[in-house]
Structure 1
């Protein structure tokens, strides 16, 4: 009896040990798939004879400056890290390089392209207040991160001569496991219905510009925005300058809440 009891005790102890190991392994596995960690990286460079002067100094005529803040996923699925890196680089390269120039494969290469544009501008028109104010800058923000979905935003401004700078924005939601960027088809069941809902919301939020005589037409047609992403409240829509309104009217931001979307929303948080 004692031997039988010992065997029973040994068997139970082994079973508990196996379960404990499995729980430990499961716990480790859960840790590798928990909420991604995102850090903000900085990239700063400048070129010119008088970059030591203040930006508002009218005597500064030769300075090109790059001041970038952008997101990097430091902990999470490799697919997500790679997808965010590719998306971020695509945006940063696009605002540093002219459309007609060969595309770079590194941030340093894109920075060199930006400085070449500055040099060419000085060569063609001479040093001036314009060439003293060449600048590309960005900021970034983690809009939403619940472990399953990650919404990131990068906003920037580029000035390479002309009447004003070019403000831009990149906003997307990534599947934290696969790295896939969620499209409208992933988020909603009926894009036409969502577009109608979005137009109603924009008309309400920007009532001031419609009272002043603006309205959508063939030049500024209302569409779903290029930049959108998940938030705690619903789907955030960001319309850049010129996207649906003239530059002077600025950017437009609205949120379609999950309550407003109702059955149109495919994703429920």
Structure 2
């Protein structure tokens, strides 16, 4: 008796489709506000569900936020604990400087910039003010493998670093309007932050990375028709 081939093929296809659907991540908004001594406002996105991929993505997002709130001062991987630590740091600050009118604050926003079956790019924007001369605005890009939820290092997005650097330098120089950049054209370096968007690859330098605080964030995009030859994953 011959083994029926078509049912097996259909079953295999069904399994493949099911696996593909399971690997697709969706995101939902998560908001949290604390007005206990400090002002902490979170308006971020987290991966939905309890899959390993979703948990990996959320752990990395929370890790990024925790670092922005507490830097390396506190050893915790719990988001709510990090907010409590932020509040406690402010209480300690007021004990040391009771006359200071300064109120600490932290505002954190997150959004999905780009999502395909090959890559998910997320942006985390943070503004913190902890009593200095001015607050600090910072943007962090996170790129994920949708199937595993693991972070993809920026260097792993590029298949030819030297040629991509030349291309990036060209677009970088087109975007510069000030002459206070901290490196010369001969010492150009790719930024740590790179992400996919609908319009192209975006590269970003935060304040102080290559210029004074007054220059602010420096951001520029490279269209996919120029960037794709040097990318491991083509954008569209």
Instruction: Give the TM bin, normalised by the shorter chain.
Output: 0.7 to 0.9
2:227 counterpart of 1:257: no
Contact 1:239 1:251 in 2 (8 A): yes
How far does residue 152 in structure 1 lie from its aligned partner after superposition?
Answer: 0.6
Q: Which structure 1 residue ranges, 5 or more long, are not aligned?
A: 1-10, 49-63
Q: Which structure 2 residue ranges, 5 or more long, are not aligned?
A: none
Q: Find the counterpart in structure 2 of residue 92 from structure 1.
A: 65
Q: Find the counterpart in structure 2 of residue 231 from structure 1.
A: 197
2:33 counterpart of 1:44: yes
CA change 1:16–1:182 in 2 (3 A) is closer
Please report the TM-score for the alignment, with normalisation by the length of structure 1: 0.76
Rounded Cα–Cα distance in structure 2 between residues aligned with 1:76 and 1:151: 20
Rounded Cα–Cα distance in structure 1 between residues aligned with 2:229 and 2:16: 35
2:45 counterpart of 1:71: yes
**Rg larger for:** 1
* C-alpha RMSD of the superposition: 2.6
How far does residue 129 in structure 1 lie from its aligned partner after superposition?
Answer: 2.4
Rounded Cα–Cα distance in structure 2 between residues aligned with 1:262 and 1:144: 15
> What secondary structure, in the 3-state scheme, does the structure 2 residue paired with 1:200 have?
helix
Contact 2:118 2:233 in 1 (8 A): no
Please report the TM-score for the alignment, with normalisation by the length of structure 2: 0.86
> What secondary structure, in the 3-state scheme, does the structure 1 residue paired with 2:225 have?
helix
2:6 counterpart of 1:32: no
Rounded Cα–Cα distance in structure 2 between residues aligned with 1:23 and 1:264: 33
List aligned pairs for 1:115-264, cutoff 5 A.
115-130=87-102, 133-206=103-176, 208-210=177-179, 214-217=180-183, 222-261=188-227, 263-264=229-230
CA change 1:112–1:255 in 2 (3 A) is same
